[in-house]
Structure 1
Amino acid sequence: MEILRYVAFATRPSGGNPAGVVLDATGADTAEMVAVAARVGYSETAFVVPRPDGELDVRYFSPKAEVPFCGHATVATAVAWAGLHGTGELALHTAAGLVRVTTREDADGVVRAELVSVAPRVEPLAPEDLAGVLAALRWSPADLDPALPPRLAYGGAWHPVVAAASRERLADLDYDMAALGDLMARRGWTTVDLVWRESAQVFHARNPFPPGGVVEDPATGAAAAAFGGYLRELGLLDLPAAFTVHQGDDLGRPSVITVKVPAEPGSGIAVSGAAVPLPDPA
């Protein structure tokens, strides 16, 4: 398998979230994909199997496990595909469902991809689970923004949404990886979406990802889609809406995610960003 390496949600290799991309994994079994993802070492690697109808089957693996959907690896995959086949529309069949992606090239030559998530969902976060998350984060209830109540949100994968009351609280992330990873594995959560609202159109996020063996994800498109659904479900946006998520700044890998939220209940959330190739490792 030829392994490509991209960063998504950035226009420079020094930013964004790195992803591995295999554009033709035909014949590879799960064990091979797990081994490749572990060797690549990024938070996710996407494996594509082209279908006779021109659409694509895609599976996503962290260094430790398969995940149903990954936004940044989807953006990376679409941009890598465009590099070989030209920009346009793609239909990706994922474990979470059908995800449609459109790529386009900017005037400066950077290729951007916009994915439309599967139908988002929002559910209550059980009090005992919130207590477990806060204990693992070493946060207290006083650290939370009461205007953005904790919930479980889904846009292809499940994420607890926990909003910090201040940028300083979000910046000071020092959590118990074993405790949080155990809780997340038992609940089937992919990342925890920690957010802070700068304004109605600007949010900052951090995403611990211990089930994948990664302390923190620098850019999480699936969580951004889930968060868009959360804001719509809770009536926290004037619809239709668009907002920006800044992620990775505290890791030194700045990432910019654009989210568009249609007014129609249950409709997919559009998540977009740029992707650029990384040099092959020595």
Structure 2
Amino acid sequence: MTQLHVLKVFVGEDGRGGNPLGVFLDADSWSAERRQRVAAKLGFSETVFVRDAARGELWIHTPAVELPLAGHPLVGTSWLLRREGVPVPVLRPPAGDVPTWTEGRDTWISARPEWAPEFDMHRLDAPAEVDAHPGAGPDEHLQVWSWQDEPAGEVRVRVFPTRMGIAEDEATGAAAIRLGALLQRPVTIHQGVASRIVVDPRADGTVAIGGRVEFVETRDHSAG
């Protein structure tokens, strides 16, 4: 029996939204096959398996594939390690070193956009069109967005990463990194039901993303 920590990442200002995340803090001996099997069984959009907490080394799996980098898993894991008394300045997913820090209530990471999965990014004319979008086919990786308030940097987004085994994501950090690289200006993303992602492109070519994390529960999990 091992422990599974469940969080919500990129929670909205009103406490709604946030993408569920599962994190195993002691998974150094787990094979890739076992990790993928457990991630598929849990059904979260991503599950994190920490290899070495003190060094921030970890693996990330969707229900269908392993990822070199993903946004909400890294933000959530950084927050959880700090909560557990093991704060780290850098996380180390397979893609490379990812700095992490806190500002007020938000937890942040900064990563190179080319490390994030690619998305077909479609700009629509209005938030209502984003809300009415029918979704993606069975093998797509689609992000639709529109300005909600362009002068204020407010963006409405939906993401359909069906290629990864996810019909629609509530909050997608990797897509936010890609959108920040495209827009090259600070923005606040409003995604899904009520999730909030703050995005800040940096002069060195990286894109920082941040948001609120909330603890949901810790529960025992069978070996799987």
User: Could you say whether these structures have the same fold, taking a TM-score greater than 0.5 normalized by the shorter chain as the test?
Assistant: yes
Report the alpha carbon displacement of residue 19 of structure 1 after superposing the two structures with TM. 0.8
**Structure 1: unaligned runs, 5 residues or longer:** 121-153, 185-190, 233-240
**Structure 2: unaligned runs, 5 residues or longer:** none
CA distance in 1, matches of 2:52, 2:92: 10
1:55-106 CA distance string (max 9 Å, x none): 22121111111122110111111111111116x54312222221111135x4
| Highest RCO, 1 vs 2 (Cα 8 Å, sep ≥ 6) | 2
Report the alpha carbon displacement of residue 224 of structure 1 after superposing the two structures with TM. 0.6
Structure 1 residues 10 and 2 mapped into 2: Cα distance closer, same or farther (>3 Å)?
same
CA RMSD after TM alignment: 2.2
Matched, 1:270 2:208: yes
Count of aligned positions: 216
Greater Rg, structure 1 or structure 2? Answer: 1
Identity %: 25
- TM-score normalised by length of structure 1: 0.71
Matched, 1:248 2:192: yes
Structure 1 residues 15 and 226 mapped into 2: Cα distance closer, same or farther (>3 Å)?
same
Matches within 5 A, 1:115-264: 115-118=109-112, 120=113, 154-178=114-138, 181=139, 184=140, 191-198=141-148, 199-200=150-151, 201-232=153-184, 241-249=185-193, 254-262=194-202, 264=203
Instruction: Please name the residue that 1:9 is paired with.
Output: 10
Structure number having the greater strand percentage:
2
1:236-277 CA distance string (max 9 Å, x none): xxxxx421000013xxxx100001122x2x521110001011
Which of 95, 106, 116 is the aligned partner of 1:112? 106
Matched, 1:102 2:93: no
CA distance in 2, matches of 1:40, 1:56: 23
Tell me, yes or no, if the aligned pair for 1:155 and 1:223 is still in contact at 8 Å. Answer: no
Structure number having the greater helix percentage:
1
Report the alpha carbon displacement of residue 156 of structure 1 after superposing the two structures with TM. 2.1
Structure 1 residues 215 and 281 mapped into 2: Cα distance closer, same or farther (>3 Å)?
farther
